[in-house]
Amino acid sequence: MKILVADKISPKGVAFLRSQPGFEVVEAYNSPREKLLEIVKDVQAIAVRSETKITAEVIAAAPKLQVVGRAGVGVDNVDVEAATERGVVVMNTPSGNTIATAELTFTHMLCGARPVPQAAASMREGKWDRKIFAGIELYKKALGIVGLGRIGGEVARRAQAFGMRVLAYDPYLAPSRAKAMQVEQVDLDTLLHESDYITVHMPLTDQTRYMIDEAALAKTKKGVRLFNCARGGIIKETALVAALKAGHVAAAGLDVYEDEPLPADHELRRLPNVTLTPHLGASTAEAQESVGIEIAEAIVDALRGGIIRNAVNVPSIDAATLKVLGPYLDLGAKLGTLVQQIAPQQVDKLRITYWGKIVDLDANAVTRSIQRGYLRQIGGAEVNFVNAPVLLQRLGVQVEVIKSASDSDYTELIQIEAVGPDGKIYSVAGTLIGKGNRPRIIAINGRDVEVAAEGKLLVLENADVPGMVGTVGTILGKGGVNIADMSLSRLTPGGTAYMVVRVDSEPSPAARQEIKSNPAIKMAKFVQL
């Protein structure tokens, strides 16, 4: 398999890739568009930093592409939507530059409190202006952190060491986590009103774009100091410039910008109370080595063993988690395939319910496996973990996931219900049995059955009359089809019954037609798991 290293990453990361048998590594840094489109035609993976743009055009030109690895946190230079639609995993390295970015943030905060860069520039000019470079202290000031993830948490620890009061706004932060970190969890308005310093550590999304705009700045204290080492666009630059000129914002420190590189004539460059750095968040020797090695290892794991770490468009599965979830992924995929083949072609909703042990696990990957299984015969080989939710959404199929706290008759149980346009429900349920965690189908359309979830199945609904088992067996026997397993189920004598027959080979069209034409058989489906 071929891996393209499109931007310079740590030499140790490249060396690791080259040391792996079965991989060809191509280093082509800062390639022009035409050359890049040519190179990617036969690559399975691309490693980038922030320079090379992996656009929809690049993804379309790479039919074998499976993985894009970003040696860094932000994936602004990767068209994640296009990658997802194509089933390409996009991974980043969120932990490698955590300390580097947190330390740079604190450096900006210190420069915002004490104008060291301005004083140093003045000294180089031969001046000695002590009075105009007076600053303020961090001690006992309130720091508002917007986004208390890994980097925000590291900034909080450093602020506490400086004796600062730390306020945190993060809609996804559990109260117990805030308490453990000894920060005050507040809403955004409170943070804006009470903070002397504000730093942002959120990803750039539709919800966070221009989170700090004119209206937000109007709620802050006069003399507030503002910092952004996360993503350009969280702070609205025009609003910041106006507030700096008006004296409402006393100082700012920025490492990221709405447009990068920052234009040479940008007004921010001319403001004396702003410290600017050219996107240096991860620019330490330690961070670059760390993210280079981390993305190289992640790419190899994804290509070789299907282990997905730190993906931005699919649940990440490390080796330990995969070992636990593996049997559930297999069961989910087979149940998804089964329900799709017994339901009508058009359904409005898939309702997935989990019981037992799996409720306490991260079932996102299992849900995707179910979706992938459901789409297997619809979308073919191009359907995978990454694009299955997108393809279902495009089909207009809503997915509902329920983690049930009620008891079931099984240690773990997965049920999938396909709801048709008329409201009719088609359902399957399965579990794992034995030491090998073998997948087992235990119900179809509400009827209790007991059959291994593997191979080829005939699912029959028939009138509960004598001789049906013999009739079906005879038809299959005439066609040279051997029966491996059979399960029978009925609700009441003389009503309808279900027969699930696991066979070694696919019945011929003639045999299937003979079964369907039997007047006692109301439904006959051949299912390939």
Distance CA 317, CA 319 (A): 7
> Any catalytic annotation for residue 193?
no
From 459, 445, 444, 465, select the one nearest 520 (Cα to Cα).
Answer: 465
Same domain, 163 and 228: yes
- Report the predicted TM-score, pTM, of the whole model to 2 decimal places: 0.64
**24, 81, 260, 400: the active-site residue:** 260
Same domain, 328 and 383: yes
| Distance set, CA 67 to CA 81, 287, 292, 439 (Å) | 14, 22, 15, 30
**86, 279, 309, 372: the active-site residue:** 279
Same domain, 260 and 398: no
Same domain, 356 and 395: yes
331 lies in some domain: yes
Same domain, 419 and 525: no
68 lies in some domain: yes
User: Mean pLDDT highest for which of 96-100, 331-335, 392-396, 436-440?
Assistant: 331-335
**231, 376, 447, 502: the active-site residue:** 231
381 pLDDT band, cuts 50/70/90, is low
| Distance set, CA 458 to CA 90, 207, 428 (Å) | 39, 49, 14
Same domain, 108 and 134: yes
> Any catalytic annotation for residue 194?
no
Work out the mean pLDDT of the chain and round it to a whole number.
Answer: 91
Residue-level pLDDT at 401: 94
Distance CA 336, CA 463 (A): 27
- For residue 465, which phi and psi values (nearest 5 degrees)? -125, 155
pLDDT surpasses 70 at 380: no
Which amino acid, residue 260?
E
pLDDT surpasses 90 at 185: yes
281 lies in some domain: no
Q: Supply the CATH number for residue 498's domain.
A: 3.30.70.260
Which of these three, 257, 276, 295, is where a domain ends? 276
How do residues 460-497 score in pLDDT, each as one tens digit? 888 888 998 999 999 999 989 999 888 888 878 888 88
> Any catalytic annotation for residue 114?
no
From 159, 174, 219, 176, select the one nearest 194 (Cα to Cα).
Answer: 219
How do residues 433-442 score in pLDDT, each as one tens digit? 987 889 999 9
Residue-level pLDDT at 177: 81
Same domain, 9 and 37: yes
367 lies in some domain: yes
The total number of structural domains that make up the chain: 4
pLDDT surpasses 90 at 429: yes
Residue-level pLDDT at 345: 83
pLDDT surpasses 90 at 384: no
Mean pLDDT score, 150-170: 96
Same domain, 398 and 521: no
From 485, 20, 499, select the one nearest 296 (Cα to Cα).
Answer: 20
Domain that holds residue 261: 98-276
Same domain, 128 and 155: yes
| Distance set, CA 223 to CA 217, 276, 402 (Å) | 11, 19, 49
Same domain, 128 and 215: yes
Least confident of 65-79, 150-164, 220-234, 253-267: 65-79
Q: Which two tokens stand for residue 191?
A: 């943070």
How do residues 302-332 score in pLDDT, each as one tens digit? 998 778 888 888 877 777 777 888 889 889 9
Same domain, 236 and 192: yes
Mean pLDDT score, 407-414: 85
How do residues 241-279 score in pLDDT, each as one tens digit? 999 999 999 999 999 999 999 999 999 999 999 999 999
Q: Supply the CATH number for residue 216's domain.
A: 3.40.50.720
Same domain, 125 and 263: yes
Which of these three, 419, 438, 454, is where a domain ends? 454
